[in-house]
């Protein structure tokens, strides 16, 4: 009985040391052709193979929650740079492709002062975005609406608040809340994947 | 009666019972949306109610709250915010906020933008919110 207990303990310790991550889910071979804020085609996730990626989902008409996610990504980007962590890409995908065209994303990046050197904002055609959302289990359903004085119908989404850490082999390793991202914790995770 | 109302209004003007502190909003470009945040410090013992916010810088200005629905986040319009007597109500990211929809101009970090808040008892209060890139 005692040797069995020792063996089980050893297995638990070894497996605990082997990975700090709770997930190891491959994104699969399916490619999602998306378009960046610079109107370049990005094949997601294949184009990020060999690099670590922090991935989130937003819509640019969101005035409250999504800017928190964007801001957290910017802070993480800056902190990763300060810590000398290399080979990380930051990706925000819009789940509102009808309104978030590449030039809208470009303007969003510009006005928010995003360092675009390793930070992409992506959109795509509706079907591709929907398929990708299903794959990543992202929910975004139209919720609150309001009409402007000139008759424009504004809609907002009830949406997921998820962000993901994806390793160099395109495997999801961790999941965070985008608007409440713990920068220190995410930095440790990035260092563990270096 | 009119004299009493005038007198009370004068007292309100001279010593406001509602103080607006830490007003700020997010930078955003023309045609997009932003959010305004501030603290409402009700120094009187009487409850008051924020019933309207207006500004010339956007097509629509509304009081909203962000709420959690399971694991998802959503926003909805609210008619007003009640501020209890002798309390501070915080409008903050991912909570209550003022939606500033379809900006008529670019708003950049460091700018100051004017809003008019209307309270049921205190009446109108003009504020200037500092634009930040948070």
- pLDDT-wise least confident of A82-91, A103-112, A148-157: A148-157
- Of the candidates B96, B115, B114, B106, the one whose C-alpha atom is nearest the C-alpha of residue B133 is B106
Q: Is the CB of A64 less than 8 angstroms away from the CB of B59?
A: no
Where residue B13 falls among pLDDT bands split at 50, 70, 90? Answer: low
Whether A161 and B100 lie within 8 Å, measured CB to CB: no
Q: Does residue A91 lie in a domain region?
A: yes
- The answer to the question of residue B1 being in a domain is no
Evaluate whether residue A34 is within a structural domain.
yes
Query: Would you say residue A11 lies in a domain?
Result: no
Q: Per-residue confidence at A14, pLDDT binned at 50, 70, 90? A: very low
**CATH number of the domain enclosing A117:** 3.40.30.10
Indicate if the pLDDT at residue A13 is higher than 90.
no
Which residues does chain A have within 8 Å of residue B65's beta carbon, measured at their own beta carbons?
A: none
Confidence check: pLDDT of A8 > 90: no
Pair B102, B30: CB distance under 8 Å: no
Look at A62 and B69 and tell me if their CB atoms are within 8 Å: no
**Chain A residue closest in CA terms to B32:** A61
Q: Between these two residues, A4 and A40, which has the higher pLDDT value?
A: A40
Q: How far is B31 from chain A (nearest CA, A)?
A: 10
Helix (H) or strand (E) holding A11: helix A2-18
Size of the A and B interface in Cβ pairs below 8 Å = 96
Q: Can you give the pLDDT at residue B119? A: 98
> Is B90 among the domain residues?
yes
- Enclosing domain of residue A168: 24-192
Average pLDDT over chain A reads 91
Closest residue by Cα to residue B64 from B28, B36, B29: B36
- Six-digit token pair at B10? 């004068």
Number of structural domains found in chain B: 1
**Facing residue for A60 by CB, picked from B32, B74, B101:** B32
Within a domain: A167:
yes
Handedness of CA A139, A92, A144, A161 (dihedral sign): positive
Identify whether B2 is part of a domain: no
> Is residue A183 in a domain?
yes
Average pLDDT over residues A70-83: 97
Does residue A165 form part of some domain?
Answer: yes
Mean of the pLDDT values across residues B94-104?
A: 96
- ipTM for the complex shown: 0.82
Q: Do B27 and B10 meet the contact criterion of CB atoms below 8 Å apart?
A: no
Neighbours of A11 (CB within 10 A): 10
A65: in domain: yes
When divided into structural domains, chain A yields a total of 1
Provide the CATH number for the domain around residue B105. 2.60.40.1890
- Nearest CB partner across the interface for A146, out of B34, B77, B109: B77
- Whole-number percent of chain A with pLDDT over 70: 90
pLDDT of residue B4: 62
B5 within domain boundaries: no
* pLDDT digit string, tens, across residues B75-92: 999 999 999 999 999 999
Give B106's contacts in chain A (Cβ within 8 Å): 111
Contacts of A60 (CB under 8 A, 6+ apart): A66, A94, A96, A99, A100, A104, A105, A108, B32
Residue B109 has pLDDT above 70, yes or no: yes
Domain assignment present for B9: no
A8-12, A24-28, A102-106: which has the minimum mean pLDDT? A8-12
Question: Nearest CA to CA, how far is B8 from chain A (Å)?
Answer: 36
Please give, rounded to a whole number of angstroms, the shortest distance from the CA of B54 to a CA of chain A.
Answer: 14
User: What is the average per-residue pLDDT within A47-56?
Assistant: 97
Average pLDDT over residues B102-106: 94
What is the C-alpha to C-alpha distance for residues B50 and B55, in angstroms, rounded to an integer? 15
Q: Answer yes or no: do A149 and B28 touch at CB < 8 A.
A: no
Q: Which of B100, B88, B72 has the alpha carbon at shortest distance from A64?
A: B100
Instruction: For residue B68, tell me if it sits in a domain.
Output: yes
B101 contacts on A by Cβ (under 8 Å): 63, 146, 148, 154
Chain B partners of A152 at a C-beta cutoff of 8 Å? Answer: 59, 102
- Hey, are the CB atoms on B27 and A112 less than 8 Å from each other? yes
pLDDT tens digits, B20-71: 999 999 999 899 999 999 999 999 999 999 999 999 999 999 999 999 989 8
Give the residue, B35 or A150, on which the prediction is more confident: B35
Contact list in A for residue B66 (CB cut-off 8 A) is 64-65
Mapped onto helix, strand or coil, the DSSP state of residue A51 is coil
Handedness of CA B97, A162, A121, A76 (dihedral sign): positive
Domain of residue B63: give its range: 17-132
| Domain assignment of residue A12, yes or no | no
Residue B108 domain-assigned? yes
Q: What is the pLDDT of residue A17?
A: 47
pLDDT of residue A144: 83
**pLDDT at residue A16, as a whole number:** 45
Q: Is there a domain that residue B4 lies in?
A: no
**pLDDT reported for residue B58:** 96
Q: Residue A146: its pLDDT value, please? A: 87
């Amino acid at each position: 009985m005692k040797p069995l207990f020792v063996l089980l303990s050893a297995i638990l310790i070894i497996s605990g040391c082997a990975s700090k991550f709770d997930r190891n889910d491959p994104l699969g071979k399916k490619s999602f052709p998306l378009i960046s804020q610079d109107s370049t085609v990005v094949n997601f996730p294949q184009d990020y193979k060999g690099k670590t990626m922090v991935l989130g989902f937003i819509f640019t008409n969101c005035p409250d929650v999504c800017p928190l996610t964007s801001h957290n990504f910017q802070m993480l980007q800056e902190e990763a740079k300060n810590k000398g962590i290399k080979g990380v890409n930051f990706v925000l995908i819009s789940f509102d492709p009808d309104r978030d065209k590449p030039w809208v994303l470009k303007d969003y990046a510009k006005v928010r002062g995003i360092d675009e050197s390793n930070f992409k904002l992506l959109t795509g055609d509706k079907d591709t975005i929907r398929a990708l959302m299903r794959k990543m289990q992202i929910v975004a359903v139209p919720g609150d609406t309001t009409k402007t004085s000139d008759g424009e119908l504004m809609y907002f989404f009830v949406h997921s608040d998820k962000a993901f850490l994806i390793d160099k082999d395109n495997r999801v390793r961790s999941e965070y809340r985008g608007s409440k991202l713990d920068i220190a914790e995410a930095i440790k995770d990035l260092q563990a994947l270096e | 009666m009119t004299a009493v109302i005038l007198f009370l209004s004068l007292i309100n003007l001279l010593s406001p019972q509602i103080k607006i502190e830490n007003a700020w909003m997010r930078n955003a470009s023309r045609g997009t949306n932003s959010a305004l945040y501030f603290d409402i410090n009700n120094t009187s013992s009487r409850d008051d109610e924020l019933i309207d916010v207006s500004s010339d810088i956007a097509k629509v200005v509304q009081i909203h709250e962000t709420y959690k629905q399971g694991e998802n986040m959503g926003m909805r319009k609210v008619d007003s915010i009640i501020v209890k007597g002798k309390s501070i109500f915080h409008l903050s990211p991912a909570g209550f906020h003022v939606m500033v929809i379809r900006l008529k101009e670019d708003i950049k970090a460091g700018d100051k933008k004017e809003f008019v808040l209307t309270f049921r008892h205190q009446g109108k209060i003009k504020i200037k919110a500092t634009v930040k890139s948070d």
